[in-house]
Structure 1
Amino acid sequence: MSTMFEQRIQALDADSASVAASFGGETRVAEHSRRGTPGWESRLLEAERFMQDIRVGRRGVHHFVEAMSTSDFPLLFADSLDRQLYGAYEATQPTWQNYARAATVNDFREVKRFATSGVRGLLTRVGELAEHPRRAADMAEYKYSVNKYEAGFALSFETMINDDLGAFLRLPQDLAASARDSEEEFVTRLFAGPTGPRADVYKTANDNVLAGNPALTRDALQAAITKLMKRKDERGNPIQVTSVELVVGTGLSLAASEIINATEYRAAGPNGDVTIIKGNGVGGNLRISTNYFIDSVVSSANADTSWWLFANPNGPRPALEFGRLRGYEQPALYEKIPDMRRLGGAEVPWSFNHGASEKKVQHIYGGSFVDPRMTVASNGSGS
């Protein structure tokens, strides 16, 4: 009975079985009639009423526990909650994937990333019997490692029994949001600091700070795109940038949209002549990402004025890399094994000493700045 019940729940949860078939099947109606047993319709109605009573609180969860064998309740619901966590996590993607390269690392040891020019360069003409010039690869090394990040919760026996609103079933969405937010906040801190663009990354030596820290305007954006598209590697070879990402906080989200979505632009010449340009002139291969964590990472007034421009992270060189542990790319939900059972053998999902059911989410990730030439930024202060 318990094995059959478990199989039916798993099949229904995977949408691989019809409700009618799971409770007897239409083809068995005649057989049930000959034997004088109730048809599948009545059995389905009885099961539906039973589940509805549990959902609205007319029946306690312990009634459902008694219908299952030892350990079925925590195991089945843990599996469903874990897949519910995955679904909510995958359905709502953060913005970091638009401007940081996603990677996978093999273990917790430090990994190395190299920004290298290789031996690319224009060929040199050589004379008869003359030797060709030898080249050596130039490279910069970047390191990072992944770490574990966790959060958990405990539900008392009383809370589980009184949960007539289904709050327990909504907790995986909260944990998925926590994992998603943690990723976004982590990547935000790779390029943003208390005063705007991170001072140790965006500096004169890296040539990635816009002169004068201009406010976000069409002209400033055009200058930033031009600067990014003129990037060259260590040997002077052009780095092809085919698309860019404009990253702003909530304070600049509307202004950025107005620039990108403008349908007409008028430029006044030195003699007073006005040139009407259809479109905004900067929208091609440009996308906006509004990062809500900029408002909290940047603690100064520059949170509402700072803006960043990133080259496509899937191009030859990414500015940022965000890595997850291989085999643990998704956040995982864990539960503490119950240590109590009712007399008669039915296990319950709460602890013996405290009467609580404990679960936690775990996510493993890390990241680093890789190539500061693949981004430019301004704190928007005009200074």
Structure 2
Amino acid sequence: MSLHLRAATPAASTVDLEARTVEAIVSTGAEVARPGYIERLDLTGADLSRLRAGAPVLDGHRSATTSDQLGVVEAAELRPEGLWVLMRFRSTDPAKAVLNDIADGTLRGLSIGYSVTEWKDQQRGKDRQRTAVNWTPIEVSVVPVPADAGAHFRKGNTTMPETQEQTLTTRAEINGAIRSIAETASLGRDWADAQIDAETTVEAARAAAFEAMQHRSQAQAVRTPTATIGTDHTDPAVIATRAGEALFARSHPEHQLSPEARQFAHMSVTDMARASLERAGLSTRGLSNDTILTRALGMHTTGDFSAILDNTANREVRRGYEAAPSGVRQLARQSTARDFRAKSSVAMGDFGTLSKVNEAGEFTYGTIGAAPESYKLDTYGKIFAISRQAMVNDDLGAFTAIPNKLGAAAADFEANVLFDCVNKNPVMADGKTVFHADHGNLAEVADPPEALSLTTIAARRLAMRKQTSPGGVLINATPRFLMVGPELETEAEQLLTQINATKTADVNPFSNLSLIVEPRLTGLEWYLAADPAVIDGLEYAYLEGAPGPQVETRTGFEVDGVEFKIRLDFGAGWLDFRGWQKDLGA
């Protein structure tokens, strides 16, 4: 059998200096090594609309100014050899100089910039391969070193005057030709081995390769779109988290920096702005720190610098928020609300006890409805700004002190709202205050008044045990917390301290109570409270999906810098009075 080889003689270049045009193959879909994976472009999944609409031809992917644009793409299509384009260069001297270099062969590199909407991940041995199956080329660049070695400026039509015939006389030569066909068609070693094991001829292998490529193209054309959820080192959200942690750690040396964030360690605010611009494909060469920061802040949709600042501010807000002390918060139950309408719990109306089923098998109905008590969320917030000067000066205090104080203020605000619910003793739906003699949760004023003691705690526990549901059923509420103000802290600690008693009279029956010291509580009054997870009582809620203070970032207009908005959707109120007891003390 024989393999026919044709020697091609290139004709004139497709460069037309008068029309300032040139044809090129800008991508063959070749594999390119990226950090952590191998990237491949599936040319059949390319959306050429941006190229056909006149995508720019750039100088080395730079797009900071108009001088970086060499020309435009006038036509684009997929051809067997790859992604073909017709480029028209500008009439400026720098653009003409580049075109002349292309014409004489001293500039040969081409590259494309693109965005990917769908990846297909697979493991190939030890390597991770990511194939862009849905992607859009958005620019073409003339570069010195192309990632795709097959990208090239096209020569003209080729003439093939000479035909040589080479006879393949050994099976080894035939097998080598089959492996070359498999490599060209990207069919892999297993496909080639199967053809060789079947002692396929070169012509039959070539036909099988074309058929396999056709089936592959058809399968890709009817592929059902799928969404792959994941992150890598190029994900803006991942970059914002890692860089934000590094900026946070500069102000807090005690923070143990994660391995992923160490690449951003010791970078200044300006360094992070510069890196953000470069990740977006923009050159920062020769730019001042002020210009770098201004441009990075102006990239709302294509950059990640604002997200980095947002992440840092959120960390500081959360740190201040979690550090603020609050005693009454531990006695309330946390919940969520889907909207800003009044929120209430489910109430067992006059359900009463279970009823006997008569011989007819009829069951009687109890009532379940909404509790009469309700509360709703409100929105609270502030805006604070960090000036451009502070960022140029790399003033970390601007990124730590202000957000930290706002976080502490948010926690203090929540605690004040909860404490007011207790201290102001609001009126409930039945027309009586939360702590009221008719509710059985307010100690009578003794004469003389009685101080906090085991006796008074026992009296309040007894009153809580006797509480009944609206239907008259004992609910057997059990005290879990003792809340006092700073004035009673020492006495409460002594009362609740567990003692290894040698006599029954010395046993402390309340050593299982948890002491809560609320600094906002003044005077000698004190409270017993049941576990809020067991008995309805005081409750607070956040808007669903937004627990605690939320921070948003935008480039300042009125303020020359960046503005942060802290927002808190929060509400609190009483759902039931039966899980609490109050004593005025003495």
Pair 1:201 & 2:434 matched: yes
Partner SS state of residue 578, structure 2: helix
2:419 pairs with one of 184, 188, 203: 188
State whether residues 112 and 142 of structure 1, in contact with CA within 8 Å, keep that contact through their aligned partners in structure 2: yes
- Residue of structure 2 equivalent to 1:232: 468
**Distance (Å, rounded) in 2 between the aligned partners of 1:136 and 1:155:** 57
Larger radius of gyration: 2
Q: CA deviation at 1:190?
A: 0.9
1:245 aligns with 2:481: yes
CA distance in 1, matches of 2:464, 2:241: 52
Q: For residue 97 of structure 1, report the CA deviation from its aligned partner.
A: 4.2
Unmatched tracts of structure 2, length 5 or more? 1-60, 63-232, 246-257, 272-287, 427-431
Measured against aligned partners, the alpha-carbon deviations of 1:261-289 in whole angstroms (never above 9, x if no partner) come to 152789xxxxxxxx6634422222x1111
1:364 matched to which residue of 2?
569
For the Cα contact (< 8 Å) 2:332–2:540, is it kept in 1? yes
Paired residue for 2:397?
166
Cα deviations by residue, 1:348-378 (Å, 9 ceiling, x for unpaired): xx54x55354323111111211111221101
1:321 aligns with 2:553: no
Deviations 1:13-52 (A, max 9, x none): 5635274xx49xxxxxxxxxxxxxxxxxxxxxxx85x649
Q: Distance in 2 between matches of 1:246 and 1:163?
A: 48
Task: Report the TM-score when normalising by structure 2.
Answer: 0.46
Which one of 280, 289, 293 corresponds to residue 520 of structure 2? 293
Contact 2:270 2:289 in 1 (8 A): no
TM-score under structure 1 normalisation? 0.68
1:222-245 CA distance string (max 9 Å, x none): 211122122222333221334421
Encode CA deviations 1:65-88: one digit per residue, 9 max, x unaligned.
389685454332122212442354
Distance 2:424 2:330 in 1: 20
1:283 aligned counterpart, secondary structure: coil
Question: What is the aligned residue count?
Answer: 316
Write 1 or 2 for the structure with the bigger share of strand. Answer: 2
Give the CA RMSD over aligned residues.
4.0
Determine the C-alpha separation between the residues in 2 that align with 1:69 and 1:377. 54
SS in 2 for 1:113: strand
Paired AA for residue 143 in structure 1 = S
Residues 124, 174 of structure 1: alpha-carbon distance in 2 compared, 3 angstrom cutoff: same
Residue of structure 2 in register with 1:146 after alignment = 377
In structure 1, what is the Cα distance between the partners aligned to 2:261 and 2:344? Answer: 51
Q: Secondary structure at the match of 1:309?
A: strand
Unaligned runs of 5+ in 1: 24-46, 55-59, 267-274, 295-302, 339-349
Larger relative contact order (Cα-Cα within 8 Å, sequence gap ≥ 6): 1
In the other structure, the counterpart of 2:351 is 119
Matched, 1:311 2:547: no
User: Are residue 255 (structure 1) and residue 494 (structure 2) matched?
Assistant: no
Residue pairs, 1:84-103, within 5 angstroms: 84-90=316-322, 94-103=326-335
Distance 1:145 1:9 in 2: 34
When residues 146 and 354 of structure 1 are mapped into structure 2, their CA distance, relative to the original with a 3 A threshold, is closer
CA distance in 1, matches of 2:346, 2:241: 46
User: 1:327-354: per-residue Cα shift (whole Å, max 9, x none)?
Assistant: 222211123x32xxxxxxxxxxx54x55
Contact 1:319–1:375 under 8 Å retained in 2: yes
Is the 8 Å Cα contact of residues 215 and 378 (structure 1) preserved in structure 2? no
1:207-234 deviation per Cα after TM superposition (whole angstroms, max 9, x unaligned): 1101226432121112111221222223
